[in-house]
Amino acid sequence: MLYLFRRPSGIYVLRIAVPVQLRSLFNKREIAATTGTRELTIAKIVASAQVAQWQQCFFDSSRLMSLATLPRWIIKKF
């Protein structure tokens, strides 16, 4: 899994880059979180769930940002 990294302590950490167009919104270039485990199989499960949440958040945020640039009369239809 591309997002997983093992720290010297043996605990797996996941990192994901924030999309360029959303960096000003999140004020970060990347997001990192610990999986809380030293076992690779468990870390993969935890990481896949967390990455899915982050990607959904990125998708929702970019969609909202694109709506914010639309004229008011179009936004009112939603």
pLDDT tens by residue, the chain, 78 residues = 688 999 999 999 999 999 998 888 888 899 999 999 999 999 999 999 999 999 998 898 888 877 766 555 544 543
pTM of the model: 0.74
pLDDT score of 1: 63
Sheet of 12-17, strands arranged across:
4-6, 12-17, 30-34
pLDDT score of 53: 92
In the chain, what are the domain boundaries?
A: 4-75
What letter represents residue 1's amino acid? Answer: M
Question: What element of type H or E holds 3?
Answer: none
